[in-house]
Structure 1
């Protein structure tokens, strides 16, 4: 069961994410929900907010993981900077997601295009934001230990290195286990939601600018 939860599920989520992006690219070039006359001003603002906030949040988490020691947080000044940036960027990201997802949920014209995964996306991202805050400012770590550096970070690095190590997560506090599973769930469903094109479309545009026209065979995104 431990292997299934902390090894099989994460790798299955990555496979789902990769296959889903390929499917969406072939299906509609990631433009199915984020473009067209049905997109109002609030959703356009939401798209800009997510494209600004999400990469920052991701970069902060990666930087924190790399700068943390086995039992310690990053140096004080670095930790203050990372926390300040995250406090601003994370709410911006979730607010942007809300602006993208809520209008279709209440509009009769497009409600039929809202999938169960779309309905799940905002609660999951909100849970990810809340768990990130709770992990960062974990008041239960009175002994000065940085539990994320002992649980989540080694586990994530071991998966990336293709040498899975579940020891940190086996006996991790429930909060840290829940955060790991929330992130895994977001990775698994991302390409099948309305947010699939948020980062994919700008990335494809950059790639198309870098690749000579003679090598382009897919339709322009």
Structure 2
């Protein structure tokens, strides 16, 4: 559609998750109009992030060192482990400021359609971590969708024999939502997880 390098830029931006053709074009033209120093700074940061960022050797969260800041933090409770699908889930939970334990990032969810089974996830490493007896509770914080539920069910079966307390994040109706728009699964979960009114 456009000449040479401009189309190449649009194509590359369009490969990013959540960026469609129109967004890719909008970003490309923004970059064309930006100051050269700003574009250079963006390019340098992209290269630096690929050079410096790796995954934590303990929990598989993103890190610039061998261990992430959460695994290095002695104030975190080592007896509670929150299992999440992706490192972006760690950020979401940390924003709540409610959880003071540690994490384990699976690297995805079980999805036979996509060819992802338990062996493609960091489940073996999770079981190794639990082997030392320091963890007493595992919180399964996988997404409340088909893949997340399958992963949570699989992990519950795997962890059951270890004698740990295995819990699942509560799910239900969002604040500000209308009952008429809730799907059956969400509404059913809300009934199951109901609490005493205060």
Structure 2 length normalisation: TM-score?
0.29
User: Structure with the greater relative contact order (CA < 8 A, sep ≥ 6): 1 or 2?
Assistant: 1
Higher helix proportion: 1
Structure 1 length normalisation: TM-score?
0.27
Higher strand proportion: 2
